[in-house]
Amino acid sequence: MTLDPGVINIIPGRARLSLDIRAPSDAQVGSIVEKAIAAADEFALGRGLRASYSERQRMPSAALEPGVIAAIERSAGATGARWRRMMSGAAHDTMCIASHVPSAMLFVPCRDGISHSPSEYASPADAALGIDVLLNTVMELTQPGGPR
């Protein structure tokens, strides 16, 4: 959010808010965008203000390969460690290659959920577990006959 002017003792005449909307499907993203615009319009109208909207970028969702996902799940399950299936709405490299190469994603937990930051930290044990899952997944997927 940015306020104009951004001075502590002046009431702003303009505010700009950016949203990063993530959902499992394009339809869900569209629905959230529509609801956000309607809420902003209603809020502004009720206060004699004006809201405007412009979309900087919308990336289509990328379908990941069920066979690769299943192989990751089997490898994670074989470790005996706790794991869970997650949706990632972030724009990762995977979305650029998923239409060309069977793809999936494997996440390793980071302290306090912080990632893509200098403060990111994964414990050596969690990193090793992630490598174990990845190695076993690759070994399964490269066996003759492909994934199970």
The three-state (H, E, C) secondary structure of the chain, written as one string:
CEEECCCCCCCCCEEECCCCCCCCCHHHHHHHHHHHHHHHHHHHHCCCCCCCCCCCCCCCCCCCCHHHHHHHHHHHHHHCCCCCCCCCCCCCCHHHHCCCCCCCCCCCCCHHHCCCCCCCCCCHHHHHHHHHHHHHHHHHHCCCCCCC
pLDDT at 31: 97
pLDDT digits 0-9 by tens, 67-84: 999 999 999 999 999 999
pLDDT at 146: 62
- Give the chain's domains with CATH numbers: 2-45 (no CATH), 66-141 (1.10.150)
pLDDT tens-place string over residues 109-147: 999 999 889 999 999 999 999 999 999 999 999 998 766
The yes-or-no verdict on residue 89 having pLDDT over 70 is yes
Confidence band (pLDDT; 50, 70, 90) for 51? Answer: very high
23-36 pLDDT per residue, tens = 888 999 999 999 99
